[in-house]
Amino acid sequence: MRYRPLGRTGLNVSLITLGTMTWGEQNTEAEAHAQLDAAVALGVNLVDAAEMYPVPPRAETQGDTERFLGTWLAKPGNRAKVLVATKAAGPVRQAHQPKHLRGGETRHDRANLTAALDDSLRRLRTDYVDLYQLHWPDRSTNTFGRLAYPWVEDPSTVPIEESLAVLSDLVKAGKIRFVGVSNETPWGLGRFLSAADRLGLPRVVSIQNPYSLLNRTYEIGLAEFSHREQVGLLAYSPLGFGVLSGKYDGGARPAGSRLARFERFSRYSNPQAVRATARYVALARERGLDPAQFALAFVNSRPFTTSTIIGATNLAQLEADITSVDIDLGADVLAAIEAIHVDQPNPSP
């Protein structure tokens, strides 16, 4: 395993993070525990969850992911083996966002952030989380596949300074070690950093946004924050919900796969994405590489990537994904990737 600094925290995190959003939907508790054991054995030290998981979010399963992680953490010695990250949901601003959490009241205010964290801690069976992230912004903005800024005047929005002040109190209470954001924009990240400097509040140490061969929008605007402010990327969807593994070639939908089960993941199967994916998968195979490891190795190679979040439904996938850290793509392969990207940029934003 390789490790990189988590912002300015002094902590080093594994280049691969174990993602958990399938636990409780596509994976059982026993399978979740097996994944944790295997990942830790391979050097993974960061696990990422969220209060709304598993995905797709449903009232019947909400919180199961954290519960499964919690029963593993409760086993003797396990809490000390990993850094635990989880996330507080934001307000319902788009149709796909869950309405069942706290009766639809998921704003980033004191009452909701406190309740969200306390509930997560109970499910996780721990007194603190190492990294607490705001899952998406409190305001309407261009996230989750939306490129154009929406120009929406929200009837109410919790100011970033107010949310960060609440998180500061939770840090002081010992319930959180560090603060992160997710699905955030350059404007939002800039405001968080400014508020921390002006008001003496906790500094954001990481940003969890999508990044893959099919979505490199992070490079525009946000990568510079990683460089100059040491706010590293925790890259999610590095395989584009699995399409970059090549298993959906020719329109295939393997039984039990995410695209076969859940229509909401069509973001990575539009015609432009299908064409680009075919080219990336072909390039990987031409170079004798497993397409999934090839796609992950690209994300791993980026200087702004702190850790790549992988999710697997079986142990063979998990081991293959984790060992992508051993792959060096080389300058010629990176140049070939760039040629495809220039021809078909960001088909799955």
Cα 83 to Cα 307: distance, rounded to the nearest angstrom: 13
Burial tier of 148 (Cβ tally within 10 Å: 0-12, 13-18, 19+): exposed
Residue among 3, 53, 132, 149 flagged as catalytic: 53
Give the CATH architecture of domain 3-245+295-330. Answer: Alpha-Beta Barrel (3.20)
- Name residue, tokens 């859940």: 262
User: Three-state DSSP class for 18?
Assistant: strand
C-alpha distance across the termini of the chain, in Å: 29
309, exposed or middle or buried, with CB in 10 Å at 0-12, 13-18, 19+?
buried
**If you count DSSP H runs as helices and E runs as strands, how many of each does the chain have, helices first?**
11, 10
280 noted as active-site residue:
no
From first to last of its 349 residues, what are the pLDDT tens digits of the chain? 999 999 999 999 999 999 999 999 999 999 999 999 999 999 999 999 999 999 999 999 999 999 999 999 999 999 999 999 999 999 988 767 888 999 888 999 999 999 999 999 999 999 999 999 999 999 999 988 888 999 999 988 999 999 999 999 999 999 999 999 999 999 999 999 999 999 999 999 999 999 999 999 999 999 999 999 999 999 999 999 999 999 888 766 666 656 656 665 677 889 999 999 999 999 999 999 999 999 999 999 999 999 999 999 999 999 999 999 999 999 999 999 999 999 999 999 9
